[in-house]
A and B are shown apart, each in its own frame.
Chain A
Amino acid sequence: MSLLSIENLSLSIHDSPILHGISLRIGEGEITALTGESGSGKSMTAFATMGLLPKGATTSGAIRFDGTNLLTLPEPQLCDLRGREIGMVFQEPMTALNPVQTIGAQVMETILVHKAMKPERAEERTREVLDRVGLPPDRFALSRYPHELSGGQRQRVVIAMAIALRPRLLIADEPTTALDVTTQAQIIELLKGLVREQNMALMMITHDLAVVSDMADTLNVMRHGEIVESGPTADVLREMRHPYTRQLFEASRHQADLGDAKADAPLLSVQNVSRDYPLPRKTLFGPRPTFRAVNHVSFDIRRGERVGLVGESGCGKSTLTRAILGLEPTQLGQITLDGDPVWQGGHPNLTVRRKMQVVFQDPYGSFNPRHRVARLITEPFHLLQDPPKGSARGNAIAEALTAVGLKPEDADRHIHAFSGGQRQRIAIARALIIKPELIVFDEAVSALDVRVRAQILDLMADLSRAYGLTYLFISHDLSVVRSITDRVMVMRAGEIVEDRPTEAIFDAPRHPYTRALMEAAPKLPELPEAQDAPHPAL
């Protein structure tokens, strides 16, 4: 018998339907993946299983855990089950821990709240379990606070809390999405190891097919609150009976059609640039120590080239980006665009700023929600000495919106009326409107679902071909960079360790760090070419 069996589960919140007749089973020692795009109901399935649905939720069907229907179980019994029999790991390790309690206290709480052990034994168990998740107590004292740990270490603490009482079912909701690839690989190894050792069942929720393709026993693909396809992972990926599965799969490995780079003369030139940040004083009157975030970096980007800058968090890529955009001065070296320095006489050089624009990760956060699209995308006009007025302004807006695949009428709407992908299109329109030469994309597609991401990547490629644009594409995600660049620079600890054409770097990485990054990145299995035609319905 399966440990967990979800039978025809439907869920609506305040009368808007979220899940429609979900059924799935997880046996002991099995890893079951739920995958799909945002809003497909993956997380709600997990919360329904935990009995932690938001107010106003109504359910039908059954969720049987070891024969007991969790949907009808009273709250006190559910509390008893949570943490002891069913553990849960969340997406955002930075906020999943209580900032004012030590990690030891938080892990121990799982044990103590269930009165599973005496306090002395609980402390011992806390040490064991922290050691097991890779935080040996001699280096990570129980008295540490969450803010003293990195994202990956915090996620280990969250996992320790979830497995402290050896639950029989662990639910992991996007456990690695917020982490760097090398950290992600370690956390996935840890989860797989725990499943093996404790014969635990794991419900793994992720939007990333590549993450689950080589770890899950069964795969459930969700869309609009339904499971559209499920089965053993290898079979699902081989057969792809449902067109949606195929779309997801293809979008994940989407390669934008870049065309040939018209690369000729250098446009952006970064010469021997260093950037220091002051650290807190060690003594009251001593000199402030500094941290060198970018260390003697030099490179050129030629006109029309699409260049990727890859590295893990803290490698200095954001600092370098800010310096290139002229948002901050550098301590050493010179950055020039078309021969003019980006920072001159203690100020950003406006002549240069007109020629470059930036698109950020969070499409919503970078817009003032109270302005209409017309005003939002004309913001860069303040950089121009003679901004277009009247009908010229209207034409510029219409042209920019059309270029990114929106309608000129959209100019009168507010930003909340658009979806995430459309918002990113508007962000690109804002960058395009003053006809820049260089556009910097700072994690610009990281927050988007795979299918939307594929569309935006296509759009970027089209625009680059049509306008001869130069791109600097900053991302932690190797697969994205691969699909949209001619050349990739790999950055580590403030230095560029490898800088070569994209194909060369992916085919034969030279630097050990580049190799480590490639190996850590989850890979999709090769799609069998013979299966290209949609499989006939059975």
Chain B
Amino acid sequence: MLGYIVKRLVSLAISLIVASVVIFVVIEVAPGDPASFMLGLNAQPDTVAALRAELGLDQSKVERYLSWVGGMLTGDFGMSYTYRTPVAQMIADRMWVSLPLALYALTLSTFIAFPAGIFAAARRGGPGDLTVTGATQLGVAVPNFWFAMMLVLIFAINLRWFSAGGFPGWDDSFWGGIKALTLPAIALALPQAAILTRVMRSSLLDILGEDFMRTARAKGLTARQALWRHGLRNALIPVLTIIGLQFAFLLAGAIIIEQVFFLPGLGRLIFQAITQRDLIVVESVVMLLVFAVIMVNFLVDLAYAAVDPRLRTRT
């Protein structure tokens, strides 16, 4: 088990290094000089040069890469070109919206998908299964912003249970924050839940056909006991894979939902930064997202090993 964790950690470190190099190179290649962009079209060349020096853009590429990575390791992400505020602070503010939102949506989608998937698999071909499968078809097909608009129409405009958008922050009250994130989280969660339900169902159906499920029945377990005790854990591996992918998506891919609900999240930050050529913000946010995705994959790998003993001894 220890060997397995060490191997995963080594591959995690290598992925991070490779990702940082790729991100740096790609951003460097992208056209547009931040200094001239910030100063506008009529700027004097020497002013631009001075700003370039101030921003560190005149250093060699290797120096800039190393100072970027070194800075990130110490929590210094540099200064935003546009807002002249520390990037770390900007990201941290947004993170307090995006991370809870992603976790909230993921929790909802898992809590919907597990029972729904198990319910459908246990009633394969029956009316319950057909209903669930039909609903997931719809959930996969309908875009999440449509759900978002419907939720706003029903729960914010008609019923007035929630506000239609905005985020009050966590300082006033925890529940206020949760309430503001509820509709966006549901909108994000529904399509994800639909996908996860389908994966759960098909994975469980595969397992139900396995020989050891028959063995379990021959021992005297009821169909339900066999499913819960022997089926579920074996069916989890593909489900964990999807959960890992979904978390990564939810963290950064919520940009449309953030727009619909006026949430100051990471997705909107990166969108603004790109349109304003705020390359240092783009670099840092992308690197942070890559870090998050790799960490999630690492956790998923650990979860695999926890679920399946064969992976602990495998090399």
Which of B211, B220, B229 neighbours the largest number of chain A CB atoms within 10 Å of its CB? B220
CA distance A148 to B309 in the complex (A): 10
Q: Are A84 and B211 in contact (CB under 8 A)?
A: no
Chain B positions within 8 Å of A83 at CB level: 218-221
Q: Are A158 and B221 in contact (CB under 8 A)?
A: no
Q: A98-B230, A100-B309 are in contact. Are A92 and B218 (CB under 8 A)?
A: no
Q: Is the interface of B mostly helix, strand, loop or mixed?
A: helix
Chain B positions within 8 Å of A280 at CB level: 315
The interface bits of chain A over 81-123 (1 if a CB of B lies within 8 angstroms of the residue's CB, else 0) are: 1111001101010011111110000000110011000000000
Q: Are B225 and A113 in contact (CB under 8 A)?
A: yes
B262 within 8 A of A: no
Q: A99-B212, A113-B225 are in contact. Are A162 and B233 (CB under 8 A)?
A: no
Contact check: which of A101, A158, A281 meets B315 at CB < 8 Å?
A281
Residue of B nearest to A94 (CB): B211
Which of A90, A95, A98, A161 neighbours the largest number of chain B CB atoms within 10 Å of its CB? A98
Q: Shortest Cβ distance from B74 into chain A, in angstroms?
A: 29
Q: A98-B230, A145-B309, A147-B309 are in contact. Are A92 and B220 (CB under 8 A)?
A: no
Q: Are A114 and B315 in contact (CB under 8 A)?
A: no
Q: Are B220 and A80 in contact (CB under 8 A)?
A: yes
Chain B positions within 8 Å of A158 at CB level: 215
Q: Are A90 and B219 in contact (CB under 8 A)?
A: no
Report the tally of A-B residue pairs with Cβ distances under 8 A.
80
The interface bits of chain B over 213-233 (1 if a CB of A lies within 8 angstroms of the residue's CB, else 0) are: 011111111100100011001
Q: Shortest Cβ distance from A20 into chain B, in angstroms?
A: 25
User: Within residues 75 to 89 of chain B, which ones have a CB less than 8 A from any CB in chain A?
Assistant: none
Contact check: which of B6, B221, B233 meets A113 at CB < 8 Å?
B221
Q: Shortest Cβ distance from A285 into chain B, in angstroms?
A: 12
The interface bits of chain A over 37-75 (1 if a CB of B lies within 8 angstroms of the residue's CB, else 0) are: 000000000000010100000000000000000000001
Q: A79-B221, A79-B222, A83-B220 are in contact. Are A96 and B215 (CB under 8 A)?
A: yes
Contact check: which of A75, A101, A161 meets B219 at CB < 8 Å?
A161
Number of interface residues of B (CB under 8 A): 24
Q: Are A95 and B211 in contact (CB under 8 A)?
A: yes
CA distance A280 to B215 in the complex (A): 32
CA distance A147 to B314 in the complex (A): 11
Chain B positions within 8 Å of A97 at CB level: 212, 215
Q: Are B310 and A82 in contact (CB under 8 A)?
A: no
Residue of A nearest to B217 (CB): A52
B210 within 8 A of A: yes
Q: Shortest Cβ distance from A514 into chain B, in angstroms?
A: 34
Chain A positions within 8 Å of B233 at CB level: 100
Chain B positions within 8 Å of A82 at CB level: 217-220
Residue of A nearest to B216 (CB): A98
The interface bits of chain B over 290-315 (1 if a CB of A lies within 8 angstroms of the residue's CB, else 0) are: 00000000000000000111100101
Residue of A nearest to B231 (CB): A98
Residue of A nearest to B307 (CB): A100
Q: Shortest Cβ distance from A475 into chain B, in angstroms?
A: 25
Chain A positions within 8 Å of B215 at CB level: 88, 90, 96-98, 158, 161
Q: Shortest Cβ distance from A535 into chain B, in angstroms?
A: 39
CA distance A50 to B218 in the complex (A): 7
B163 within 8 A of A: no
Contact check: which of B216, B218, B310 meets A145 at CB < 8 Å?
B310
B234 within 8 A of A: yes
Q: Shortest Cβ distance from B243 into chain A, in angstroms?
A: 18
Which of A75, A113, A145, A158 neighbours the largest number of chain B CB atoms within 10 Å of its CB? A113
Q: Are A99 and B234 in contact (CB under 8 A)?
A: yes
Chain A positions within 8 Å of B315 at CB level: 280-281
Q: Are A99 and B308 in contact (CB under 8 A)?
A: yes
Q: Are A52 and B212 in contact (CB under 8 A)?
A: no
Q: Shortest Cβ distance from B117 into chain A, in angstroms?
A: 18
Q: Shortest Cβ distance from A225 into chain B, in angstroms?
A: 21
CA distance A114 to B233 in the complex (A): 22
CA distance A114 to B218 in the complex (A): 12
CA distance A284 to B9 in the complex (A): 14
B interface residues, Cβ below 8 angstroms from A: 6, 210-212, 214-222, 225, 229-230, 233-234, 307-310, 313, 315
22 of the cross-chain contacts (CB-CB < 8 Å) are A52-B214, A75-B222, A76-B222, A81-B220, A82-B218, A82-B220, A87-B218, A88-B218, A90-B211, A90-B218, A95-B212, A96-B214, A96-B215, A99-B212, A99-B310, A109-B221, A113-B221, A113-B225, A114-B220, A158-B215, A161-B219, A284-B6
Q: Give the top 10 A-B pairs by smallest Cβ distance, nearest first.
A: A83-B220, A83-B219, A95-B211, A280-B315, A88-B218, A82-B220, A98-B212, A145-B309, A110-B219, A96-B215
